[in-house]
Amino acid sequence: MQQIYQTNNLFDAHLVKHALEDAGIPAFVFGESLLGAGGELPLFGLLRVCVPDSAQPQAEDIVAALALDEGPGDPISDADEAPGLLPA
């Protein structure tokens, strides 16, 4: 098994998994059962999407095409203009 994607977001992990499965590549999400646990577990890096070794090159292309990590880090930016809205 090869790790093909790592995230902190369960939605992104399943989006990648389903995109891979739609292409005929078996994919597995590891770590989702640990999300509710606290205490000794790290807060980040628990979710990993893995594929069989032979499917790694094709899976990397599919994940890259999803462009999940290319969005802005902050969904609300000071540069965004909201016409018609005035500060309170």
pTM: 0.69
For residues 3 and 60, is the Cβ–Cβ distance under 8 A? no
CATH of 2-68, one of 3.50.50.60, 3.30.70.790, 1.10.10.10, 3.30.40.10: 3.30.70.790
> For the chain, what is the mean pLDDT?
80
The confidence score (pLDDT) of residue 36 equals: 62
CA 35 from centre of chain: 14
Percent pLDDT > 90 in the chain is 44
For residues 20 and 64, is the Cβ–Cβ distance under 8 A? no
Task: Residue 14: name the closest of 22, 56, 65 by CA.
Answer: 22
